[in-house]
């Protein structure tokens, strides 16, 4: 039997020592590793957001490529590329274009 797994990435999380200790206890009580518990919680949060705001989630997801890097929008204004989504203007950022040497 062939089992195919997607590539794994690591995410660093800042938290307090107390939350880390309680996370370890929770994982132990469930009989899983801390990383598995964190993954379970992240997947659950993503699923909940997709169900709660499917249009907004899809709109924001469209600004990222498959490797998780932001993809600049096609809209250009005043020599800047606008990155983000109009659904949540507070999340949009304007980054100046890099000038080509020459």
Higher pLDDT, 9 or 68: 9
For residue 28, is it within any domain?
yes
Per-residue pLDDT tens digits for 6-28? 677 888 989 999 999 999 999 99
**What domain range is 20 assigned to?**
12-52
- Mapped onto helix, strand or coil, the DSSP state of residue 78 is coil
| Predicted local distance difference test score (pLDDT) of residue 15 | 93
Distance CA 95, CA 92 (A): 10
Distance CA 45, CA 34 (A): 17
- Mapped onto helix, strand or coil, the DSSP state of residue 1 is coil
Closest alpha carbon to 39 in 80, 5, 83? 5
For residue 30, is it within any domain?
yes
Distance CA 26, CA 37 (A): 8
For residue 19, is it within any domain?
yes
How many distinct structural domains can be found in the chain?
Answer: 1
């Amino acid at each position: 039997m062939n089992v195919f797994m997607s590539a794994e990435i690591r995410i660093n999380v800042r938290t307090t020592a107390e939350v880390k200790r309680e996370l370890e206890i929770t994982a132990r009580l469930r009989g899983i590793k801390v990383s598995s518990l964190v993954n379970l919680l992240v997947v659950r949060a993503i699923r909940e957001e997709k169900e709660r705001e499917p249009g907004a989630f899809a709109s924001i997801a469209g600004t990222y490529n498959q490797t998780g890097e932001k993809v600049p929008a096609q809209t250009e204004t005043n020599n800047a590329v606008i990155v983000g989504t109009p659904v949540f203007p507070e999340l949009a950022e304007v980054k100046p274009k890099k000038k080509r040497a020459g």
